[in-house]
Chains A and B, each alone.
Chain A
Amino acid sequence: MSTNGAPVPPPQPSLSKTTASSNGTVPPSVFTLPQTAQLEALYTIIRDKDTSRGDFLFYSDRIIRLLVEEGLNHLPVVKKTVTTPTGSTYVGVGFEGKICGVSILRAGEAMEAGLREVCRSVRIGKILIQRDEETTQPKLFYSKFPQDIAKRYVLLLDPMLATGGSAIKAVDVLMENGVPEDRIIFINLISSPEGLRTFSEKFPRLKVITGWIDQGLNEKAYIIPGLGDFGERRYCE
């Protein structure tokens, strides 16, 4: 019997690669949560237009927490040895590297509480991106980042990935600030297959953690079935 008693976990991947979606295969840089009945039940609650705001907040927070937990699993760890209260030596791992969150205003802010529950006092930067009425392209209106963001791993937060326009613009801004592509992890609750494809073709080394991949977009570029406007439901309704 080993004295360090390191856990011997079963070879069970925590992240499942989604093999099926309505529009074919999922890019290799995209990871989803384990698609359990329980997760489906959570999504059913937040999709329902009759769900109260209190329930919407509570259940979307639960999903966000799970997403952040999964996102963090893509960060590096280093071997670390500690002494336990029983006096034994335990060989485990320590967290490596600084992180920061960056939320895309305004819906992305909804994910900050969940992030802080998992990563205590993490620094959080903000980006405001709006559609430019003249060019119809996404345009950066405002950004505020920690000074040393170039040395950090960035968790980019936006609840919905529809066309991918604003997310791509946000990554562009981050890279302009010196963050390497492979140090960014994009976390969202629901994404469209089209948006995922566009996004991961542009940034193949950037990992995307998504909770659910929906059917597609409608003519107004809303995700179907989706859950409506996340920020609107969370803050305004």
Chain B
Amino acid sequence: MSQLLLRKELDESQRASVPLKAQKNTLLISHGRPPWYGPDGKCISDAFVIGVGGGSASGKVVANSKILSNVYSVGSSDSCCAANSESLGLDSDGPYPLTSQRTLSLSFDWIVTGFTIQDSFYKYHSPKEIELAFESKFDFDHPDAIDMPMFASCLADLKACRQTNIPVYSFAEHQRLQETKYAYGATVIIGPSFSPVDSSISNDQSTAEGIMALHDPALRSLYDLKVFVQCDSDLMLARRITRDVKERGRSLEGILEQYLRYVKPSYDNFVRPTAAFADIIVPGQNNSVAIELISTHTRRQLQERSNSFRPKMVTSSLHAPSLVNEPLENDPNLMILPSTPQLEGIFTILRSKDTNNQDFIFFTDRLSTLLVEHALQFLPYAPLTVTTPLGVKSHGKKLISKYLCGVSILRSGSALERGFRRVINNVPVGTLLIQSNSMDGEPLLLHLKLPVSVRHRSSAEETWVILLDAQIGTGAAAFMSIRILLEHGVKQDHIIFVTFLVARTGGITTLRRAFPHVRIVCGTVDNEMREGWLEGDRGEGNEDGVGRKIWVMNPGMGQIGDRYYL
């Protein structure tokens, strides 16, 4: 009875998530990802991984969703809980709905993020195994069916804040597909837990459901917290029968045969013994106290990991004058555009508060073109000989970067995009939306859409990235974006940051120290950074439009994004 109640609760929370979809932006803004690294550019801590084990139909999924909503419901709005259950992606239609939704949750829903799907990790099958699978004679409940090393490596990547490419398993073909699903940015990973997908697939195989969660030593070592959901066998069987008959329309005989043949031996031999490894054993019903304990623990762990990053960025150079005297002009990896009469004239127009929109846009485009042209000389070139139309050989050079792409930091980074496109016409341009939290000014990662070559670790290592942002003031957004690229495997010396302005006394010092090999190309260096109030900034958490405290560059160019777009 209590199980039905739980299920009902879950259904309700899913329903609650539906109307919220339309307002996804609102939801994201209040749940961006704050800095997860220190001023030295190193990750402060890994993602928090909770491994939940237990038998099939023991109530793991329900327990997980409750943990997640508990972890994030305190001190924030109801929409948060709704977001959680949405990200769980328990119910959806389409042939393979959960993976896609799961991936969405991984890339959008920063805090919650995450579930690793164990049945994605079925091994690559030989033709013979596929034959068996189609005859329903393949034991998917045996640990050997699962590619544990790959699962462990994906989980380890996510735990270490790196991107990972989760394999995709097709139940229709009983085979792992060539494509993978990209996942990045989890702060809490609860797994492996999963509601079986076979409701939409008409065959008799059971799916692994994460029952092997605590089985593999390599996986166990990755968990920060190991939970085992304990439930009596007869109760689990009762739930299974109810579920399979009601939701999947199976016959009682079929269910029992599958249960006795695969599920029960698997539970007795592999699942139940793993309870010995668990930190906490949670009852499969009436478990609200246990869930509360786990949630509190997780929340506290997360709180200890948060830090206030931005003040450290700015003040490190404000309060350490010796560093300021170190002239930026001597930094071999900070390229300032050579000053010419035209460049000075352009800056005079852009800095003037009386410049109209049309002029501001025109000269911004002209400046960004020059900046990107300047930046391109830092790409790798190799000799090349070509034949001219006159039939003469000409010895020249050729760009040899294997992958090249741009990534612009929204919104003001896109002010450089027209210039970028004038110079590089056939490469992808990704985006990162980083906004500062209106409460404390901390940068928040709200959205990321990176070029395909960056998403895959192997190609990311050979990708040159031109990062675009209007200015480096506090450097917080620059810091976060570089951090993200590095976590994807892009090499430091393959990143070229292109920007109009750099503040001498801003976060640039910290940025240079943390990432000395990243090249920065800028139009000019401004001497001063001062605290100011941004008037009438009506935005999230500031509906009244009262002034917001920000760091501004002096003389600066004003709010470049506003002047370019508004």
Is A69 a contact partner of B525 (Cβ separation < 8 A)? no
CA distance A38 to B532 in the complex (A): 41
Is B373 a contact partner of A66 (Cβ separation < 8 A)? yes
A141 to chain B, nearest CB (A): 26
Chain A contacts for B160, CB-based, 8 A: none
Q: How large is the interface on A (under 10, 10 to 19, 20 to 34, 35 or more residues)?
A: 35 or more
Is A84 a contact partner of B398 (Cβ separation < 8 A)? no
Contacts A66-B373, A86-B556; A92 near B396 (Cβ below 8 A): no
A42 to chain B, nearest CB (A): 9
Chain B contacts for A8, CB-based, 8 A: 329, 525
Question: Is A12 close to B, CB under 8 A?
Answer: yes
CA distance A237 to B306 in the complex (A): 62
Chain B contacts for A120, CB-based, 8 A: 362
Is B341 a contact partner of A93 (Cβ separation < 8 A)? yes
Question: Is A19 close to B, CB under 8 A?
Answer: no
Chain B contacts for A94, CB-based, 8 A: 345, 348
CA distance A94 to B555 in the complex (A): 17
Is B397 a contact partner of A118 (Cβ separation < 8 A)? no
B487 to chain A, nearest CB (A): 29
Residue of B nearest to A214 (CB): B394
Chain B contacts for A43, CB-based, 8 A: 396
Question: Is B81 close to A, CB under 8 A?
Answer: no
Question: Is B99 close to A, CB under 8 A?
Answer: no
Contacts A92-B347, A226-B390; A10 near B329 (Cβ below 8 A): yes
CA distance A61 to B393 in the complex (A): 23
CA distance A222 to B384 in the complex (A): 22
Question: Is B452 close to A, CB under 8 A?
Answer: no
Pick out which of these stretches binds chain B: A75-83, A132-140, A143-151: A75-83
Contact with A along B517-530 (1 / 0, CB 8 A): 00000001111101
Chain B contacts for A2, CB-based, 8 A: 527
Contacts A73-B340, A93-B345, A120-B362; A41 near B390 (Cβ below 8 A): no
Is A49 a contact partner of B348 (Cβ separation < 8 A)? no
CA distance A94 to B524 in the complex (A): 17
CA distance A37 to B379 in the complex (A): 9
Question: Is B554 close to A, CB under 8 A?
Answer: yes
Contact with B along A37-80 (1 / 0, CB 8 A): 11011011001111000000010011001100100110111001
CA distance A157 to B119 in the complex (A): 66
Residue of B nearest to A114 (CB): B422
A13 to chain B, nearest CB (A): 7
Contacts A37-B381, A44-B386; A5 near B555 (Cβ below 8 A): yes
Q: Which of B552-566 contact A (CB under 8 A)?
A: 552-559, 563
Is B528 a contact partner of A41 (Cβ separation < 8 A)? no
Chain A contacts for B422, CB-based, 8 A: 61-62, 65, 117
B363 to chain A, nearest CB (A): 9
Chain A contacts for B353, CB-based, 8 A: 82-85
Question: Is B399 close to A, CB under 8 A?
Answer: yes
A228 to chain B, nearest CB (A): 3
| Interface residues in chain A, defined as those with a beta carbon under 8 Å from any beta carbon in chain B | 1-2, 4-5, 7-10, 12-14, 36-38, 40-41, 43-44, 47-50, 58, 61-62, 65-66, 69, 72-73, 75-77, 80, 82-86, 88-90, 92-95, 117-118, 120, 218, 222, 224-229, 233
User: 8 tightest A-B contacts by CB?
Assistant: A44-B396, A92-B348, A228-B389, A9-B339, A85-B558, A82-B352, A225-B394, A48-B386
| Interface residues in chain B, defined as those with a beta carbon under 8 Å from any beta carbon in chain A | 329, 336, 338-342, 344-345, 347-348, 351-354, 362, 366, 369-370, 373, 376-377, 379, 381, 384, 386-390, 392-394, 396-399, 422-423, 425, 524-528, 530, 532, 552-559, 563
A–B Cβ pairs within 8 angstroms, 6 of them = A47-B386, A48-B394, A61-B422, A73-B341, A84-B554, A92-B351
